[in-house]
Structure 1
Amino acid sequence: MEGVSDPIDRALLNDWQRDFPITERPFGVLAETLGTSETNVIERLRARTEAGQVTRLGATCAPNTISASTLAAVAAPEDRIEEVAEIIGAEPGVNHSYLRENDWNLWFVATGPDRAHVDGALDRIAQRSGLRVLDLRLVRPFNLDLGFSLHGDDRRAPPRQAPDTDVLQPGDREIVQALMRGLPLNARPYAAIANTLGRDEAEVMARIRVLSAARIIARLGVIVRHRALGWRSNAMVVWDLPHDTITRAGPVLAAQPGVTLCYERTPVAGVWPYRLYSMIHAQSRKEALARLAAAAAVLPELQGAPHLALFSNRCFKQTGALVAKERTIA
């Protein structure tokens, strides 16, 4: 883990990427396990956030459960990359935006409370940029956890069942949005969220536990910036495979070392035929390509299949998804 030599900091950034305590004083729980003080834990996390190694301490959400999202791309001319990236990033619902090595070079995730909100964002980006926007909707996920083992051992969360949306209640969306924005770095972060929402702290924590158990909250913990921690050679590998083949290949590909995301998306006829997507995060291009080759060798379906490795050159935006109108947390 580049730039993090202190063992307590390493433990904070690695061991608490998921299963963050849902209790009145969660940082005290971390402090007890690490043999330090609650104040020290908060100060360390604040320092790592200010250093750009941590995005936030908060939640990621199972896609298209409590909100809507899509992966999108535009082909920006070389001399317009900065301009178009600014147009994309200006949309509040865009939570990830990257420059990748392809003619379709600006890739982003658009999120919102519902599909109409996402469609509106894509339409505005197309109108303001004058460029076609590829709308690559999720068909099915195989791995969307994106936790990083900072010890280099490729540990990952076990496969999980589909989210249970039957548990959703009015007001849950606002709680999840607060967690997407990030827990306040103070002794009682859930109380701060509850106060802003005009709700009871115990009630808010109870709903977070329910949403986590139902897998609507996919992960609650430290969200690291992988590029700032040394994972700078990151490739989105797209495969041109038929749907039935993806049914067999997707789960196996998702389980391969170095593959941090894997899912099927809709193609765009005559423009973008790729259906199977897999992210590989590595510390060098050589390592990323080696991991790609190793993953492809495991699956006969992938050997010789048309594919592209779209390495990312720059991150323009990385934040939590938009699931509801945000409120400011003190």
Structure 2
Amino acid sequence: MFDELQFYNHIQRDFPLELRPYFCAAEALGMSERMVLSLLARDLGAGRISRIGAVFAPNTIGVSTLAALAVPSARMDRVAGRVSADPAVSHNYARDGHHYNLWFVAGARDRPQLDAVLDDIAYDVGQAPLDLPLEREYHIDLGFPLSRGRHGAREARGPRETCTQPAQALSHADWRLIAALEAGLPLTPFPYHALARRCGISPTEILCRLAQWRNTGIIRRFGAILHHRKFGYAHNAMCVWNVPDARVDAIGMRLAHVPHVTLCYRRPRRLPDWPYNLFAMVHARSQAELQATLARFNAVGGLAAVPRAVLPASRCFKQRGTRYSCTLAAA
């Protein structure tokens, strides 16, 4: 009998880098290529998945930041609409629990272009966004385990310094490939041929570059990108702490292993408005599961005694992968 959860557990990462990848994925699961393509087409159309494609490691291509605005409730829809309309913005959420209540992620080819995005938003909404670029990651993995009672395997790793420049020099051809990947792989038997037509690079060369990027960690994950709410992860909260700088790395590494923590990283304080430097995102299937995870945080050594805030998501205005094609002309 077909198991949909097993299918998506399998296809969220390590998607085949083969000329006929859907056939290879189908064969590994005892399915037909036609069945795989039909299932993905159905769920793409229904908004259950956003694309088949790459999740790049933070700031290895271009730059990004987490930003926030303090928005009166009467202006929320208008301001959120302006933020979401910017093609550089990938995620945009209203969050309760703090006067900074509209949180978004923006990305660009380089820091000057990202600054221009933030400046334009500031001009239009009458407020400079809080700008919180990633400084060090402890755990980042938005592949969602879909079997109840299991939290998925976590890669053991030390904290990573995050550079403000790409990890390697990228050619114009590289950037064309990155731009072509943004919409995801087409649902055809030979998707890399279609990708080649988008970017002017041969299918063989595309596969070589993607394999190299995946092997070197530039691509963190390659596979189906799920809209997590559609798969039962309807509750999420951003938790933040003001941890002494000398202890933040040790505490962040411990926090990263708490079940249901999908993101954990260090970002700068912005005193006096924002005193927090340690962030964790929790995605849960129920309110009870979310609250249980929040309660576990107090058992993490060093966390119970430091100031914290919990910002649950109350509304999602935008959610998709970061796109760089809107800045190609400026490169």
Shift in Å, 1:181: 2.2
From 76, 81, 85, the equivalent of 2:76 is 81
Structure 1 residues 106-140: Cα deviation after superposition (integer angstroms, max 9, x where no partner)? 10000011111211111111111112310011110
Report the Cα distance in structure 1 between the residues aligned to 2:106 and 2:258, rounded to whole angstroms: 27
The answer for the alignment partner of 1:158 in structure 2 is 155
Give the letter aligned to residue 33 of structure 2. Answer: E
Select which of 102, 109, 116 maps to 1:113. 109
Classify the secondary structure of the residue corresponding to 1:243: coil
Question: Where does the alignment leave 5 or more consecutive residues of structure 2 unmatched?
Answer: none
Describe the superposition over 1:154-197 as per-residue Cα deviations: whole angstroms up to 9, x where unpaired: 01341357699347444222222322321111111111111111
Q: Counterpart of 1:52 in 2: which secondary structure?
A: coil
Structure-2 residue corresponding to 1:201? 203
The offset of 1:324, in angstroms, is 3.6
1:77-99 deviation digits (Å, cap 9, x = unpaired): 10111100110011101001111
Secondary structure at 2:93's aligned position in 1? strand
**Partner secondary structure for residue 165 of structure 1:** coil
CA distance in 2, matches of 1:56, 1:191: 17
1:304 deviates by 2.1
Whole-angstrom CA distance in 2 between matches of 1:293 and 1:268: 27
Match of 2:139 in 1: 143
Aligned to 2:316: 315
Structure 1 gaps of 5+ residues are: 1-5
Asked whether the 8 Å contact 1:98–1:313 carries over to 2, the reply is yes
Return the alpha-carbon distance in structure 2 between the equivalents of residues 128 and 83 of structure 1: 11
> Structure 1: which amino acid aligns with 2:130?
L
Aligned positions, number: 321
Partners of 1:172 and 1:296 in 2: how far apart?
45
Q: Which residue of 2 aligns with 1:39?
A: 34
Superposition deviation, residue 287 in structure 1: 1.6
Match of 1:300 in 2: 301
Residue 149 of structure 1 aligns to a residue whose secondary structure is coil
Q: 1:160 and 1:117 mapped to 2: Cα distance?
A: 32
Q: How far apart are the structure 1 equivalents of 2:177 and 2:283? A: 31
Q: CA deviation at 1:285?
A: 2.2
Pairwise mapping of residues 252-267 of structure 1 onto structure 2 (< 5 A)? 252-267=254-269
Deviation at residue 325 of structure 1 after TM alignment: 4.3
C-alpha distance in structure 1 between counterparts of 2:141 and 2:202, whole Å: 30
2:194 equivalent in structure 1 = 192
Which deviates the most, 284-293 or 304-313?
284-293
Aligned partner of 1:125 in structure 2 is 121
**Where do residues 226-245 of structure 1 align in structure 2 (5 Å cutoff)?**
226-245=228-247
TM-score (norm 2): 0.92
**2:173 matched residue in structure 1:** 171
Is the Cα–Cα contact under 8 Å of residues 173 and 199 in structure 2 kept in the other structure? no
Aligned to 2:135, the other structure's residue is in SS state strand
2:249 — aligned with what?
247
* 1:311–1:7 CA distance, 2 compared to 1 (3 A): farther
The answer as to whether partners of 1:174 and 1:325 remain within 8 angstroms in 2 is no
CA contact (8 A) 1:60 1:180 kept: no
Percentage of identical aligned residues: 40
- 1:30 matched to 2:32? The reply is no
Q: Secondary structure at the match of 1:181?
A: coil
Q: CA RMSD in A?
A: 1.9
Deviations 1:137-157 (A, max 9, x none): 111011112111011300134
